[in-house]
Structure 1
């Protein structure tokens, strides 16, 4: 996993987590946060803590980019409150 330092949130609020895409692109670039490959088509806004398990939907600290393969493979492995069990750079 490549080091990610997104800094502070560039937005005060967004309506949908997909709206974070341009902010993520400008701060960390269009790379998968898991496999580190460039994302050329259809970047997916990824939740560190699964949204289906109660992870924050639009919280800047819970969002990264993931390619389609890695995002589907991760699924719901990181449940709400398990954020500290994983290494996030």
Structure 2
């Protein structure tokens, strides 16, 4: 899983479940707790999550905006090909 995917997964888990400990996040996303702790530090530095205490984090308004601002990628099925436009 890429860093960006991992961070989005952490944000989604916190948005869905509320405040979680690093070990609970690690179990939820099936990653090593150290990997989760490093990702949480990056998210905390970017103000996407806040530390509640004892390695327990919660999502911030900035984190919610980050989740909502990412637009899904188009599958390309709505793009007309050259042959489709011919009559």
Which bracket does the TM-score occupy, shorter chain normalised? 0.3 to 0.5
- Which structure has more relative contact order (CA 8 Å, sep 6+)? It is 1
TM, length-normalised to structure 2: 0.33
